[in-house]
Amino acid sequence: MGDRLKYRALVSKAVLDLIPAFLRNRRNEVESLRHALIAGDFDHVRYLGHRMRGVGGSYGFDYVTTLGCRLEQCGRERDVDHLGELVADYADYLLNVRIEYA
């Protein structure tokens, strides 16, 4: 049941037109995170996580905010193993998120 809620986003109809670009930007973010992880650029991981924290909830994608918090912390702690798991989780989320409009 937890995953069912994790992969759900409740989005305001007021931002409906912005969602395709929002999701495209998030997919680009996953690629940036992968590159930063490979390069060991923990500052960039921390920056991207911070940005995710700010943008996710604004659009109704609360799990993006949650992942952003975790990525920011892992970037600060230079936790490569956990970072890899979070990036994979983020990619999976973006592929499977169910958007509901309010």
Q: pLDDT tens digits for 17-70? A: 999 999 999 999 999 999 999 999 999 999 999 999 999 999 999 999 999 999
pTM: 0.90
CATH fold of 2-101 reads Four Helix Bundle (Hemerythrin (Met), subunit A) (1.20.120)
Domain boundaries, the chain: 2-101
Tell me: the pLDDT tens digits for 67-91?
999 999 999 999 988 999 999 999 9
Dihedral, 38, 39, 45, 47 alpha carbons, nearest 10:
-150
